[in-house]
Amino acid sequence: MFLGQYRLSMGDDRSLLLPGAFQGLLAQGAYITRGFEQNLLLMSEKEFQAATQKVTSLNLADPSVRLLNRLLLAHAIPLDIDGNGRFLVPAELVEFTGAQKDLILIGQGDYIEVWSPAEWKKQTELLADVEANPARFASLDLTLA
């Protein structure tokens, strides 16, 4: 399970060293693609295949489905992670995040979000509004078993 936050700096070649906690979880392969905000999604091959299967099984006649396919699949790239846990972040995807050198990796359970520090700061400011959070999440079933 991917958990926690990690601030990392890319090398001049856009290389990024995965935190040790994430390396083993991505050892069998990984994909990176655009996220829903100005971020990236990094998934193990298993999770990416499951997401791909779900997305491609949706009704292709629905314009929203076609947009979702374009968002997730048109920008998806398999990663070549070396034995040290290092990989290259594609230039197009770095540009999409607006990042310069630093990136923040956010564990989200089954996947990782990759943010520029500026965009992640916006997200943390939203979540810091403790008065808005109960109403924001009230419609979700967050009951514990």
Q: What are 99-123's pLDDT values in tens digits?
A: 999 999 999 999 999 999 999 999 9
Cα separation, 46 vs 93, in Å, equals 21
Q: How far is CA 98 from the centre of its chain?
A: 14
Amino acid sitting at position 118? A
Q: What is the pLDDT of residue 144?
A: 80
- Structure tokens, 98: 């607006």
Residues with Cβ < 8 Å from 19, sequence gap 6 or more? 4, 6, 8, 105
Split at pLDDT 50, 70, 90, the class of 143 is confident
Q: What are 13-62's pLDDT values in tens digits?
A: 999 999 999 999 999 999 999 999 999 999 999 999 999 999 999 999 99
Cα separation, 110 vs 64, in Å, equals 24
pTM of the model: 0.92
- Structure tokens, 38: 């100005």
Helix H or strand E encompassing 27: none
Give mean pLDDT, residues 55-81: 95
pLDDT at 145 over 80: no
